[in-house]
Structure 1
Amino acid sequence: MIRLTNIKLPLDHDDAALTSAILTTLEISADQLQSFEVHRRGYDARKKSSIVLIYTLDVQTCQDAALLEKFAGHQLIKATPDMTYQYVAQAPAVLAERPVVIGFGPCGLLAGLVLAQMGYRPIILERGKEVRERTKDTFGFWRKKVLNTESNVQFGEGGAGTFSDGKLYSQIKDPKHYGRKVLSEFVSAGAPDEIMYVSKPHIGTFRLVTMVEKMRARIIELGGEIRFSARVDDLQIEDGQVTGLTLADGEQIRSKHIGLAVGHSARDTFQMLYDKNVYMEAKPFSVGFRIEHQQSLIDEARFGDNAGNEILGAADYKLVHHCKNGRSVYSFCMCPGGTVVAATSEENRVVTNGMSQYSRNERNANSAVVVGIDPSDYPGHPLAGVEFQRQLESLAYELGGANYDAPAQKVGDFLKGVSSEQLGSVEPSFKPGIKLTDLSQALPEFCIEALREAIPAFNRKIRGFALEDAILTGIETRTSSPVNIKRGDDLQSLNTRGLFPAGEGAGYAGGIMSAAIDGIRIAEAMALSINNSQ
């Protein structure tokens, strides 16, 4: 097949336009075109009055070879790459020990699935509950302020990504097309077919719940085992080789191949690993607030008269500003038509996150606006970043009234440096609730200074971003892991053989897609290591 890229058509083009564009680009007649499919569809909305759709197409003609030779060297006409996933190994007939995966978020889910598909019958350990029970606990916290520290937005089947926008795109390099494998598995589990071709695919929380259940069932069908409420409290390490682990209930499991996919909020696990001398380093992360606007404002600012177009959907944005004080401020985890949610996993702390359903039809748009934090801001041992986060989350808890409500402030008041006394046109969506206050107390001074410079700068890119009545809700601290559990080229810990750190918690991913891809990578590494050791 032939891949055509950068095919641009008007937003309102008809069905025949794609065929016509193919014939024109390849200089062929209609009878020479056999079939085509859309590999990717995005849009360019820089000119709101003339938004264009941008396609990547895979085309089958009766003379592919001749056409590829004719257009050799053309950057936009190439042979379609083979994106079929190839398993790197198969389990031996007799498996001495089963591999173990700790964590059942996107990374652990794909690691477990691929190991199961290769015949290794993995044991997957998840400290939280299965996804439907976890959903009940999470919604219960939002409604009644009763926190289950082992079953919440951060912990449980599906990982933190279950309560998010369900974004399925990433900017990481993916030469082996692992992302295609991830999307294919999601579609097989019930995700809409469109995630295979839209440029910014998403699923939303409710659809993710059903998908995760189906993928769990597939792993079990293939011989895998999944245990919930199974927190790992210790590792057995002998002469630099992991040999097993101990669960919170005292049960021990022997294995010399353990995938570590614990997520960015497994702070007690980080401490246990640090105490066991597993090598790790502090890494940068970001902190800030959630900002909310009416979605209609963002749609108008991004799409103009095309706001509401079904193909474009609810508008998103991605912003960055480099401040005079040397800090960078950027938007993170933007959720069109969504809500701001409580995401703490520890008592007496407040953490925010954003979530959208597949429809993205809630009144408000929300995004984190965060400031980059460097290990030099919290010098000390590798876990000093965890303590930095905890201090801010505890302060947010107090500012919100010490009852899990979140501190909030209107953007106009924040920029003026005065406490908010009443809401305006934007109604905050945070559950359980908010308390209006002065958010300048919630972050270090350099963060507040950077945010007060960046928000007006963002307003020059999205008109209305600095709206007086827009709402800031604090505090966003879990943008990424504060630690990097270092691994080598074989994806094993630098000083603990058989331990495969992966995903967001280990510092190797940021979001559902990159975490899932990293899960595939460690599944392959574990499989090859098992085969080489038997």
Structure 2
Amino acid sequence: MIRVSNIKLPLDHDEQAFTDAILTTLGITTEQLTTVEIRRRGYDARKKNTIFLIYTLDIDTTINEAVLEKHAGNQSIRLTPDMTYKFVAQAPTDLQERPLVIGFGPCGLLAGLVLAQMGYKPLIIERGKAVRDRTKDTFGFWREKKLNPESNVQFGEGGAGTFSDGKLSTQIKDPKQYGRKVLTEFVEAGAPEEIMYVSKPHIGTFRLVSMVEKMRAKIIEMGGEIRFSARVDDLHIEAGQVTGITLANGETIKSKHIALAIGHSARDTFQMLFDKNVYMEAKPFSVGFRIEHEQSLIDQARFGKNAGNPILGAADYKLVHHCKSGRSVYSFCMCPGGTVVAASSEEGRVVTNGMSQYSRQERNANSAIVVGIDPADYPGNPLAGIDLQRQLESNAYLMGGENYDAPAQKVGDFLKGGSSEALGTVKPSFKPGIKLTDLSKALPDFCIEAIREAIPEFNKKIKGFAKDDALLTGVETRTSSPVSIKRGHDMQSINTQGLYPAGEGAGYAGGIMSAAIDGIKIAEAIALSINEQQG
């Protein structure tokens, strides 16, 4: 097939215009065109009242070789690359050891799935509950303020990504087409087929729940095993080689190949690994607030008269501001038509996150507005960033009334430096609830100053962003892991052989897609190592 990129058409184009663009671009006739597959569809909304769709297509003609020769040197017209995922190994028939996967978020899920597909029958250990039980616990916390520290937004089958917008976009380079493997598995598990080609694919929380269950069933069918409510409390290391784990119930499991896909919030596990001298470093992350606007305001600001077009859907945004102080403030995890959710995993601490359903039809848009910080802001040992997170989350709990309500403030009052006394037009979506206060006390002074500088600048790009009635809710601290567990080219810990730090928790991913891709890479590394050791 022929890969054709950058076909640009008006938002309201018809089928004939689509076909005509293909024929004109390739210089062929209708009779010579056989099949067309949309590989990617994005949009150019820089001029919001004149929006264009941008297509990448895979096309078959009766004269492929002649077309490619005619357009030789044109990077927008070339041979379609091979996108088939190829397994790097197959398990020996006398497999002597089952690999372990610790954590069953996107990274652990794909690591376990690919290991199972290659015949290695992985044993997956997840501290939280199965996804439906976990969902009951999470919704129960939002309604009744009863937190289960082992079953919540952060812990449980599906990982933190289950209670999110389900965004599947990523900025990483992917020459081996790992991303397509991930998307293919998601579609087979029930994700909408459009995620294979839209430029900003998303799934939504409710669809993720059933998808995760189907992928779990697939792993079990191929000989894998999943243990829920099984927290790892100890890692066994002998002469620099990992040999197994001990669970919270005292059970010992032996393995010399362990994928560590624990996510960014397993603070007790980070402490255990640090105590075991597994090499790690503090890494930069970001802290800030969630900001809410009416979704209609964002739609109008981004799409103008095209707001509401079903192809465009609910509008999102991506903003960044470089402050005079040298700090950067940016939007993170933007959730169109979604809600701000309670994401606590430790008692007496308040954390916010964002979530959307597939439809993205809730009244508000929300995103995190966060400030980048680095280890110079929290000097000490590699876990000092966790200490800072806990400090900010505990303070937010106090500011919210010590009942898991979150502290909140109208943007106008925040910018002026006064407390908020009453809500305006933007109604909070956060559950359990909010307490209006002065958020200047919720973050370090340099963060407050940076966000106050950034919001008016963002208003120049999104008209109404700095409106007085927009709402800030605090605090957002789990943007990424504050720890990096270093690994070498063989994907193993640089000082603990057989331990494979993986995904977001180890500092190698930043979202569902990149974490899932990293899981595949880890599965491949484990498979090759097992085969090499068994000869």
How far residue 66 of structure 1 moved from its aligned partner, in angstroms, is: 1.6
The amino acid across from 2:65 in the alignment is A
Measured in 2, the distance between the counterparts of 1:251 and 1:296 equals 54
Task: Indicate the residue corresponding to 1:84 in structure 2.
Answer: 84
The amino acid across from 2:341 in the alignment is V
1:334 aligns with 2:319: no
Structure 1's consecutive aligned runs of 4 or more residues displaced over 6 angstroms after TM superposition are none
Measured in 1, the distance between the counterparts of 2:332 and 2:248 equals 34
Task: Indicate the residue corresponding to 2:219 in structure 1.
Answer: 219
Q: Aligned ranges for residues 169-208 of structure 1 at < 5 Å?
A: 169-208=169-208
Measured in 2, the distance between the counterparts of 1:154 and 1:84 equals 33
Task: Indicate the residue corresponding to 2:321 in structure 1.
Answer: 321
SS of equivalent residue, structure 2 residue 420: coil
1:513 aligns with 2:513: yes
Q: Aligned ranges for residues 120-269 of structure 1 at < 5 Å?
A: 120-269=120-269
How far residue 104 of structure 1 moved from its aligned partner, in angstroms, is: 0.2
Measured in 1, the distance between the counterparts of 2:56 and 2:526 equals 35
How far residue 407 of structure 1 moved from its aligned partner, in angstroms, is: 0.2
SS of equivalent residue, structure 1 residue 435: strand
Measured in 2, the distance between the counterparts of 1:178 and 1:16 equals 34
Measured in 2, the distance between the counterparts of 1:191 and 1:363 equals 24
How far residue 309 of structure 1 moved from its aligned partner, in angstroms, is: 0.3
Measured in 2, the distance between the counterparts of 1:231 and 1:511 equals 23
The amino acid across from 2:186 in the alignment is F
User: RMSD across aligned C-alpha pairs, in angstroms?
Assistant: 0.4
How far residue 500 of structure 1 moved from its aligned partner, in angstroms, is: 0.3
Measured in 2, the distance between the counterparts of 1:260 and 1:62 equals 50
The amino acid across from 2:476 in the alignment is E
The amino acid across from 2:150 in the alignment is E
Task: Indicate the residue corresponding to 1:394 in structure 2.
Answer: 394
Q: Aligned ranges for residues 358-507 of structure 1 at < 5 Å?
A: 358-507=358-507
The amino acid across from 2:138 in the alignment is T
Which structure 1 residue ranges, 5 or more long, are not aligned? none
Measured in 2, the distance between the counterparts of 1:17 and 1:224 equals 50
SS of equivalent residue, structure 1 residue 101: strand
SS of equivalent residue, structure 1 residue 152: coil
The amino acid across from 1:55 in the alignment is Y
Measured in 2, the distance between the counterparts of 1:52 and 1:67 equals 26
Measured in 1, the distance between the counterparts of 2:109 and 2:327 equals 36
The amino acid across from 1:46 in the alignment is R
SS of equivalent residue, structure 1 residue 519: helix
TM-score, L = length of structure 2: 1.00
Task: Indicate the residue corresponding to 1:108 in structure 2.
Answer: 108
SS of equivalent residue, structure 2 residue 149: coil
Task: Indicate the residue corresponding to 1:51 in structure 2.
Answer: 51
Which structure 2 residue ranges, 5 or more long, are not aligned? none
Measured in 2, the distance between the counterparts of 1:16 and 1:114 equals 42
Instruction: Output one character per residue of 1:216-263: Cα deviation in whole Å (capped at 9) or x when no partner.
Output: 000000000000001000011001000000000000000000000000
How far residue 63 of structure 1 moved from its aligned partner, in angstroms, is: 1.2
SS of equivalent residue, structure 1 residue 242: strand
The amino acid across from 2:260 in the alignment is L
Measured in 2, the distance between the counterparts of 1:192 and 1:510 equals 23
Measured in 2, the distance between the counterparts of 1:136 and 1:191 equals 22
Task: Indicate the residue corresponding to 2:9 in structure 1.
Answer: 9
Measured in 1, the distance between the counterparts of 2:24 and 2:395 equals 62
Measured in 2, the distance between the counterparts of 1:48 and 1:124 equals 47
Measured in 1, the distance between the counterparts of 2:435 and 2:102 equals 37
Instruction: Output one character per residue of 1:56-108: Cα deviation in whole Å (capped at 9) or x when no partner.
Output: 00000111112111111102111110010000000000111100000000000
Task: Indicate the residue corresponding to 1:97 in structure 2.
Answer: 97
Task: Indicate the residue corresponding to 2:21 in structure 1.
Answer: 21
Percent same amino acid among aligned pairs? 81
SS of equivalent residue, structure 1 residue 430: coil
TM-score, L = length of structure 1: 1.00
Task: Indicate the residue corresponding to 1:69 in structure 2.
Answer: 69
Measured in 2, the distance between the counterparts of 1:373 and 1:503 equals 21
Task: Indicate the residue corresponding to 2:37 in structure 1.
Answer: 37
SS of equivalent residue, structure 1 residue 531: helix
Measured in 1, the distance between the counterparts of 2:532 and 2:331 equals 45
How far residue 129 of structure 1 moved from its aligned partner, in angstroms, is: 0.1
How far residue 308 of structure 1 moved from its aligned partner, in angstroms, is: 0.3
Q: How many corresponding residue pairs?
A: 534
SS of equivalent residue, structure 1 residue 321: strand
Measured in 1, the distance between the counterparts of 2:208 and 2:427 equals 27
The range that moved more, 65-74 or 184-193, is 65-74
Instruction: Output one character per residue of 1:131-160: Cα deviation in whole Å (capped at 9) or x when no partner.
Output: 000000000000000000000000000000
The amino acid across from 1:213 in the alignment is E
SS of equivalent residue, structure 1 residue 50: coil
